[in-house]
Amino acid sequence: MKILFITGGLTTLRRKSNSYQETLMEKIASRGHQVTVLCMAEVSLRPWIHWKKSVEKIEIYHLYNGGVYPGVYPQGGVGTRSPLLEVKPSHKLRKIVFQIIQEVSPDLISFQSLFGLPLELLQEIAEGKIPTQLTALDYFSLCPTAHLFPSDQKPCRLTTAELTCNDCCQNTVHYSTFWITYHLDQWVASLQKNSLLYSPLCRLRNLFLRFNRFWNRHQAPSPSYSLRRKAAIRALRSLTLIHCISQLQADLFQQLAGALPSLQVLHAHPASTEKIEPQKALYRSSSPLKFIALNVHAPYKGLNLLHSTFDQLQKEGFQFELHFYGSIPDHILHSPLVHYHGRYQETDLDQIASEADFCLIPSLWDETLGFVGLEMLSRGVPLIVSQCAGISEFVKDRETGMLFNSADSESLLNILREILQNKPLRERIFQNILIKDPKLKTFDQHTDEMEKLFMHLIEKRERL
């Protein structure tokens, strides 16, 4: 089986830990299949192949792509000011991509990220003779910020005709400005502060940022974002299969994109779930209760909700510990009961889980799944989770965890009051969470499912 994975980029080129997509590629390659990766989203004024090499049985094409904003979408989801760049490919880009497809001659093309891939090019590839599959880890095809969560703190349900994406994308820099400041940052970082070029380059960078504030007055019109959504829907309908990682995500795709008969739900699992061994936490025999929140660093993740809720619990005299792991937010809750630990490694997860009573996932956006939740469940930590997160599909309310309504500002507060006061409820949850949930899979088991899915798509196309 020959598979061409198309993605935005590979994190292993920049840091040691693997993402979901990279681990899946490595596992598929280790089973004797031929795996090729095309990375689409490196910044450049024009498209060209930067390099091609093989890494651990995987052949990688790294494409410098004109018209994308590397780092803007993955590192915060602030969207684009040029939505039509995400729709129409240049002649040069189209030519390069189809040359690579012809050279690789894959049995299947699997899209792991659409970032950097113009939607009309996606549609053209999908309408060819090679079966195509998209693993939708987010909502980037429907929303330029990938979150469907605008600044008014309510999930976006706007139809194509009603879109106001220009409000959500107003803080995005213009492409030309971003390209220049991106490279200026690289040069500045490589210089010593006493270098003669350091100060002039810093001043030049600030000049371009001022230019961007002026350029922000000229926002892309809403119809451009509507055209982007329409192009995305056409592309989605042309795919052989859309792999949604939760039922919640699949329902939302159907709601916003209309009938998509090629949808299939298959829960993804993070690379860190190498085994499923729920174990009783050491901390549960002591007091106070210890709550943890991993990677809750932004409003759409529920950061403000957690701050206000635990601030109220503290005022009411409850004793607890709240520990944040991950990027430290700009605004923190100053309290001796709240602790911020900063970034953590996958190797720290066992220790974090062993000292936790409950893991909080207070998402306000329609989170596609929530790998943090799977990492904690596989280690025996029950969840208190928003109903609008895909990971809620793994939680039996009041049996293996607690569900709350993110649209009700008092819902989480009331649940935490009950958890803190109701010892029999806690003990029932702690006991039930030690029973292995058949829905939880190791990454090897998930790879088995994906391998069967890929082979089924290839066999189905061969029978036509």
Tell me 42's DSSP state.
E
Residues 239 and 321 in one domain: no
Q: Do residue 360 and residue 455 come from a single domain?
A: no
At 287-310, the pLDDT tens digits run 899 999 999 988 889 999 999 999
pTM over 0.85: yes
Report the distance separating Cα 198 and Cα 189, nearest Å.
9
370: tokens are 């929530």
In a domain, 276, yes or no: no
Q: Confirm whether 208 is domain-assigned.
A: yes
The string of pLDDT tens digits covering residues 235-281 is 999 999 999 999 999 999 999 998 898 999 999 998 888 778 777 66
Res. 203: pLDDT tops 70: yes
In this predicted structure, the answer to whether residue 46 has a pLDDT above a threshold of 60 is no
In this structure, what DSSP letter does residue 437 have?
Answer: P
Residue 51: pLDDT above 70?
Answer: no
Residue 395, classed as helix, strand or coil, is: coil
Contacts of 391 (CB under 8 A, 6+ apart): 246, 361, 367, 369, 370, 372, 373, 374, 383, 385
Could you tell me which residues come within 8 angstroms of residue 380 by beta carbon, excluding any fewer than 6 positions away?
Answer: 277, 278, 279, 280, 281, 353, 433, 434
In this predicted structure, the answer to whether residue 14 has a pLDDT above a threshold of 50 is: no
> Which pair of structure tokens corresponds to residue 137?
């880890």
Q: What is the pLDDT of residue 168?
A: 80
- Counting the structural domains of the chain, the total is 3
Q: 355 with 415, same domain?
A: yes
Using the structure block, give the residue that is written with the tokens 């004793």.
319
What is the helix (H) or strand (E) element at residue 386, kind and residue range? strand 383-386
Confidence at residue 282, expressed as pLDDT on a 0 to 100 scale: 56
- Tokens 């590397």, located at residue: 70
CATH number at residue 112: 3.40.50.2000
39 or 387: whose pLDDT is higher?
Answer: 387
* 194 pLDDT higher than 70: no
Which tokens in the block code for residue 198? 């350091």
Residue 263 placed within a domain: yes
Task: Report whether pLDDT(106) > 90.
Answer: yes
Quote the pLDDT of residue 74: 35
Percent of the chain having pLDDT more than 70? 83
Asked whether residue 373 falls in the same domain as residue 259, the answer is no
Q: For 404-434, what is each residue's pLDDT tens digit? A: 999 888 999 999 999 999 999 999 999 999 8
Judge if 30 and 124 occupy the same domain. yes
Helix H or strand E encompassing 351: helix 349-354
* Mean pLDDT for the stretch of residues 207-219: 62
The answer on 387 and 361 residing in a single domain is yes
In a domain, 364, yes or no: yes
Query: Same structural domain for residues 372 and 455?
Result: no
Q: Is 91 helix (H, G, I), strand (E, B) or coil?
A: helix
Domain of residue 426, residue span: 282-440
User: Could you tell me which residues come within 8 angstroms of residue 23 by beta carbon, excluding any fewer than 6 positions away?
Assistant: 271, 443
What's the distance, CA 354 to chain centroid? 26
